[in-house]
Amino acid sequence: MFASCADPSTLSGLNWTLCYLTTGKHLDFYWSFVTVMMLLVITAPAAMAFGFGGAVAARSHIAPLRWIGKAYTAMVRGVPDIVFFLFFVIALDQGIEWVNHQYQCPDWTEPVWKGLEFRVCPAAKVPLSTASAGWHQAYGFALAVFTFALVFGAFAANVLYGAMEAVPGAQLETAEAYGMSHRQVFRRVLVPQMWTYALPGLSNLWMILIKATPLLFLLGVQDIVYWARELGGAKTQAYAYPHPDWRLYYFLGLMVFYLVMTKLSEIVLGRLTARLSQGQATMAGDAMRKAAT
């Protein structure tokens, strides 16, 4: 990165360390932390949207919609995450290219499936082979976000469904007795009340989502664990900055990063729980009322 780092063989001590930590690969390593944070920031609300839709569908009075909601939660939760990530991303990628193939190349005569090989016309490739590396990375990241949101949305749907069922039925009946419609009861009574019951389960899902970010590597995204393994491994003279096996130190740094993330999450979630518990007929709400008196 710096002009003084042009010849690593002439460096030593602090200069060698500074040049080593500012190589292009290390800049990619630092950027991968931003990638992980972006994944969490985008995936969390997307998973909540999937979860809320799944929970509402599972409670629907319309039978087909209820079957879809329950099938979604049961099917996704019943498949190991790593298997679902590997299968779904390939299926989704091929599905997008197949649809694009039907639109871009209607006169294509060769079969799309040739044995075990999947082939579409060059114009239907997503992204195009001529696209920049940035577009390929953005496409892989988008697939990763959608897959994470779909998987964790199924777990969130189960949590929200249970939280909706935990809201006392007497409150809903009272609201209806005051003349509220079903939509008004759902929007003004059920949804505000359910968060108190849902937050513990959603907190656990958030922690699991943080720990699941290394699965990005399976989806073709170079995450912090990938770079820690690559940069920490023993380097030979073929590399500009040879060093012994430093993976212990790299992974120790990642452990500190994840522990800090979970600790900050616990603080924020604890304050959110206290705020939502105020005035609620729960154990936390009773404890707050007793403490106030």
Q: Where are the domains of the chain?
A: 13-292
Using alpha carbons, select from 193, 182, 93, 102 the residue that is nearest to residue 136: 93
Rounded CA separation 98/250 (Å): 41
Is the pLDDT score of 286 beyond 70? no
Report in angstroms the alpha-carbon separations of 207 from 86, 180, 250, 282: 22, 38, 22, 23
Percentage, residues of the chain above pLDDT 70: 92
Q: What digits encode the pLDDT tens for the residues 26-56?
A: 888 899 899 899 999 999 999 999 999 999 9
Q: What digits encode the pLDDT tens for the residues 141-178?
A: 888 889 899 999 999 999 999 999 888 888 888 888 88
Is the pLDDT score of 281 beyond 70? no
Q: What digits encode the pLDDT tens for the residues 219-264?
A: 777 888 888 888 888 876 667 788 888 889 999 999 999 999 999 9
DSSP-derived letter for residue 189 is: I
Rounded CA separation 81/142 (Å): 18
DSSP-derived letter for residue 1 is: -
Domain 13-292 has CATH 3.40.190.10: no
Strands (E), the chain: 113-114, 117-118
Q: What digits encode the pLDDT tens for the residues 54-104?
A: 999 998 888 999 999 999 988 888 888 778 777 888 888 888 888 888 888
Using alpha carbons, select from 248, 41, 50 the residue that is nearest to residue 158: 50
Token representation of residue 161? 């469904």
Report the pLDDT value the prediction gives residue 288, as an integer from 0 to 100.
Answer: 47
Long-range own/partner contacts, residues 188-192 (CB < 8 A, 24 or more apart) = 190/164
